[in-house]
A and B are shown apart, each in its own frame.
Chain A
């Protein structure tokens, strides 16, 4: 279970609304490489993960991703707070506004709704960890793209830079989890079987 802390992991204080920017940045809330997918990916994968330390890491990183999801929601919310009808029409935010007013809803920058197909929970820890490492890099690339769009908005750039750094750290930790997993496998057979499903008696792959 979880307990809530009434603070953001990194503060978000945006003074100027910018609906055009919000439409691009919302992708890291509910887009293909966003924080909703990240948190659901790790918090789903953890259940069938055969090694306790790796499952624990998935749980802890998944938990931090929930804090990142909240930060992204706060950024989009503060960028669209108190918009006038004129700003909504001029910025192109009208297409989002017609369905959600100024509510926060998980979608990609191009308008595609969040979908569980954006992540996988394969029940094979080798497969899952490679996906996780790729996911961290994809999110890092997206944050790099956002940073190029917000170079004149320091209020937005500061939390985005923080989130970008966390992708780099998570990639490193997942790489270590992959090494921990491989240490438990038959050295001659790293990628030939699923340690969570294929039970062989004498290869030392059991818990």
Chain B
């Protein structure tokens, strides 16, 4: 697995953790351990997304700033899978 795919995989893993913790916290808003977990993984996710978007392609439109080409439009479409 190359660095790009590995980073995308890592973003998927922390992204899932954040989604799962957000749903848990919706029904357990006072669980301080879960809030700490959420903060921790959410920070990692934000950091990874920033690094990834700079290096490879913008993963969100707010990370697509560029002074040349429109990078968001050139980014791969996720539903294409390995053939994309």
- The docked-state distance in angstroms from the alpha carbon of A3 to that of B49 is 14
**Which chain A positions have C-beta within 8 A of B20?**
169
Within 8 A of A (CB), among B1-31: 8-9, 11-12, 15-16, 19-20, 22-24, 26-29
What are the interface flags for A45-78 relative to B under an 8 Å C-beta threshold, 1 for contact and 0 otherwise? Answer: 0000000010011001100100000100110011
Instruction: Tell me whether B57 and A64 are in contact (CB under 8 A).
Output: no
Instruction: Tell me whether A12 and B81 are in contact (CB under 8 A).
Output: yes
**Which chain A positions have C-beta within 8 A of B29?**
53
**Which chain B positions have C-beta within 8 A of A5?**
15, 59-60
- The docked-state distance in angstroms from the alpha carbon of A160 to that of B59 is 24
Give the most central of B12, B23, B61: most A CB within 10 Å: B23
Give the most central of B28, B59, B77, B79: most A CB within 10 Å: B79
Q: Is A141 an interface position by the 8 A CB rule?
A: no
- The docked-state distance in angstroms from the alpha carbon of A63 to that of B16 is 13
Q: How far is the CB of B1 from chain A (nearest CB, A)?
A: 12
| Chain B, Cβ-Cβ closest to A63 | B19
Instruction: Tell me whether B79 and A60 are in contact (CB under 8 A).
Output: no
Q: Is A126 an interface position by the 8 A CB rule?
A: no
- The docked-state distance in angstroms from the alpha carbon of A70 to that of B36 is 30
Q: How far is the CB of B13 from chain A (nearest CB, A)?
A: 10
Chain B interface main SS type: helix
Known: A6-B75, A15-B82, A177-B27. A60 touches B22 (CB 8 A): yes
Instruction: Tell me whether B23 and A53 are in contact (CB under 8 A).
Output: no
Q: Which of A14, A53, A60, A176 contacts B81 (CB 8 A)?
A: A14
**Which chain A positions have C-beta within 8 A of B8?**
7
Instruction: Tell me whether B79 and A180 are in contact (CB under 8 A).
Output: no
Known: A53-B26, A57-B27, A64-B19. A13 touches B81 (CB 8 A): yes
Instruction: Tell me whether B12 and A10 are in contact (CB under 8 A).
Output: yes
Within 8 A of B (CB), among A1-31: 3-15
**Which chain B positions have C-beta within 8 A of A15?**
82
Q: Is A81 an interface position by the 8 A CB rule?
A: yes
Q: Which residues from chain B sit less than 8 Å from chain A, CB to CB?
A: 8-9, 11-12, 15-16, 19-20, 22-24, 26-29, 57-62, 75-79, 81-83
Q: List 26 A-B contacts (CB under 8 A).
A: A3-B60, A3-B61, A6-B57, A6-B58, A6-B60, A6-B76, A7-B11, A7-B59, A7-B78, A8-B78, A8-B79, A9-B19, A10-B12, A10-B16, A12-B81, A53-B29, A61-B23, A64-B23, A70-B78, A70-B79, A73-B79, A74-B81, A169-B23, A170-B23, A173-B24, A180-B27
